[in-house]
A and B are shown apart, each in its own frame.
Chain A
Amino acid sequence: MNRIITLLTLGASSLALASAASAQSAVQQTADSYYVAGQAQLAEKIASQPNVARAKNVVLFVVDGLSVPTITASRIHEGQLRGVDGESNVLSFERLLPYTALSKTYTHDSQVADSAPTATALVSGVKSVNGTIGVTQDIKLNDCASQKGAEVTTLFELAEQAGLATGVVSTARITHATPAATYAKVAGRDWENDANLPEEAVAGGCKDIAAQLVDWPAGDGFEVIFGGGRGNFLTVDQPDPEDEGRTGSRKDGRDLVGEWTARHNDGVYVWNKEGFDAIDPANVNRAFGLFNRSHMQYEADRAKDAGGEPSLAEMAVKAIDLLDKNEEGYVLMVEGGRVDHAHHAGNAARALTDTIAVAEAVEAVFEKIDPAETLVILTADHSHVFSIAGYPTRGNPILGIAGKADDGKPYTTLGYQNGPGAKLDEPRADLTDVDTTDVDFLQQALIPLGESETHAGDDVVIFAQGPWAHLFHGVVEQNLVYHVMEHATGLATRAALARQAAAQ
């Protein structure tokens, strides 16, 4: 019987080969360069094998506001900046993270999400309410009293409980929604320092986000914290070290940087590039870097920062150098936080250059990790109303003019559906003599919405590689990201066992 099955199988294989051979000979365009490239890509897909080993490490890249058009435009821009064909260019994360899915980003109460509940979905596995962080659908927005019983456990807390190292890196304020979701639980995302807390929250004992970071009770705390938002950790009486004449924002008298430093004698606090470069993972076990009073600079402006700032790639690599000291493994979030801000400003050039900075960070991380034992994911929290339009010719500058409209004026390839680029009850501007490739140019928009363009509700992409990355396929809910990370690491069970062992 077995012999018969074998023969049948061999016969089927031969038949398949024969079919393939005849199919190829029946096709006229097999020598065409696109056809050849398509065949090569097919071979890659056939050769890929799912990895079902346990993930030792997890690196979660979150690119705030990375819509699909942002990926496409950044890919083209990066290629054009290097002088190669932009349209067929490949960003590092497209090449290195082959498993993909579409992520549905709606939240418990909104068609279009903000960054707070979406970050909760990514790191805690539940959809929640816009404007809230680290809490379930049971929360009431800005209502401190509703927090009790609604708080979630994050993957980072599980990792700490299980004895892994943890890190959070962002170019935004480290108290901003996305990084905050790894450690904070608040009914209001704006509660970044105590001065932002409403009276009801103070009376109810709700703590601001910066204080929650320093007081984080999980394990022995983050080994790595790199980002902006220094003002939320210093008091109004503490002068900012970089920003002349400015102080911290805290009014409760808590010097959170001083508290962190006192608590962790195995760590180092830094606020500028010089201090960052001096961090030697051989000598310290943890690092706390706050490189700007508010958000860190856009990549396009980073060189002009007064104190100097590390790049996202430099921060990610340094983070892994520190986290990798833990033999149990690590969980790291790396956020490209300012793609979103540039889009809100209607400024495509900065959104694209910040996306390219993320691609460079992914490339740099891959030089540090073992891909077979590290689950690497890159995704966005939500989309933006950003589009690539017209019929520009192949190779046309992506920041350039696509053609002329019915009003006789040129229009750009990139544009926004709403935001600051729109005129209020006036015809749009004539771009004939305008350099639309200038980094400060704001793309035109249809609907005037003040200084801030809006998020969009379309799906975003999840890219992944490593253990269990193959689970990302199809159209999935955003909160699946947490569930795959947990499944790949087994951290819920490991944390429970560690807690049990500690109790005994």
Chain B
Amino acid sequence: MLTRRLLLAAATTPLLAPLLTPRAAWAAPEALKFRDLYVRGRELTEKAKALAGREVRMIGYMAPPLKPEIDFFVLTKLPMSTCPFCETEAQWPDDIVLALTDRPVEPIRYTDLIRATGVFETGFETDPDTGFMSFIRLRGARYEKL
């Protein structure tokens, strides 16, 4: 059976090119709201497109990490008690952001508001180690509880 991950990967490979945009270290992180991600469906807003490769800060919630000693978490608009990204059968929302960290994640309760900062990436990508697929990412993410 064709899994949704494979389907997503097959459908979106050309979108990976913008990921290579170099990080603009000189710019202060720009605030980006969840509602400013998409115009409609998966169509990114002009603001989101323009921020690709730049450092942004987003406010949201940390879905419970998949396991201890893991270097990513899912940033959600509203609290989610399960990792929406890890449950293929779950009715997970479209507007989630994969936050990739440089060190193991220290979990923050999923109902606590956090501010995450990282380099904004768009386009489907499959993590080679876990097979997880994402469309929006914050790379080199730092985070703090608000």
Interface residues of A (CB under 8 A from B): 236-237, 239, 242, 244-247, 293-294, 303-308, 345-347, 420-424, 429, 439-440, 442, 448, 450-451
Option from A236, A347, A450 in Cβ contact (under 8 Å) with B111: A450
Determine if A307 and B81 form an interchain contact, defined as CB atoms under 8 angstroms apart: no
B83 to chain A, nearest CB (A): 12
Residue in chain A with minimal CB distance to B3: A245
A420 touches B79 (CB 8 A): yes
Please determine whether A304 and B79 come into contact, CB atoms closer than 8 angstroms.
Answer: no
Q: Is B146 an interface residue (CB 8 A)?
A: yes
Q: Give A305 to B8 CA distance when docked, in angstroms.
A: 19
Question: Could you name 18 residue pairs across A and B whose Cβ atoms are closer than 8 Å?
Answer: A237-B1, A239-B7, A244-B8, A245-B5, A304-B38, A305-B40, A305-B41, A345-B79, A420-B78, A421-B111, A422-B111, A424-B109, A440-B33, A442-B78, A448-B111, A450-B81, A451-B110, A451-B111
Distance between B139 CB and nearest chain A CB, rounded to angstroms: 22
Query: A237-B1, A424-B111, A451-B80 in contact; A307/B41 too (CB < 8 A)?
Result: yes
Sorted nearest first, the 3 A-B pairs with minimum C-beta distance are A306-B41, A245-B8, A245-B7
A237 CB contacts on chain B under 8 angstroms: 1
Contact B113 A244 (CB under 8 A): no
Asked if B112 is at the interface (CB within 8 A of a chain A CB), the reply is yes
Partner of A429, one of B77, B78, B80, B113: B113
From B88, which residue of chain A is reached at the shortest CB distance? A246
Further 9 A-B residue pairs, CB within 8 A, beyond A244-B42, A305-B40, A423-B112: A244-B8, A244-B11, A245-B7, A346-B79, A420-B78, A450-B81, A450-B111, A451-B79, A451-B110
Which residues does B use to contact A, with CB under 8 Å? 1, 4-5, 7-8, 11, 33-35, 38-42, 77-81, 91, 109-113, 146
Taking CB atoms, residues of chain A closer than 8 Å to B35 are 439-440
- The minimal Cβ–Cβ distance linking B103 to chain A, given in whole angstroms, is 24
Chain A residues, CB < 8 A from B7: 239, 244-245
CB atoms of B4 and A345 under 8 A apart: no
For A304, the chain B residues whose CB sits under 8 A away are: 38-41
Question: Which residues from A are CB-within-8-Å of B34?
Answer: 440
B90 to chain A, nearest CB (A): 10
A294 to B94, CA, bound (A): 12
What is the minimal beta-carbon distance from B11 to any residue of chain A, in angstroms?
6
CB distance from B18 to the nearest CB of A (A): 18
How distant is the Cα of A345 from the Cα of B128 in the complex, in angstroms?
34
Interfacial chain B residues near A439, Cβ < 8 Å:
35
- Please give the distance in Å from B36's CB to the nearest CB on chain A: 11
Give bound CA distance, A429 to B110, whole Å. Answer: 15
Residues of chain A contacted by B91 (CB below 8 angstroms): 293-294
B residues in contact with A346, CB < 8 Å: 79
- Contact: B78 with A306, CB < 8 Å? no
Q: Once bound together, how far apart are the Cα atoms of A242 and B80, in whole Å?
A: 23
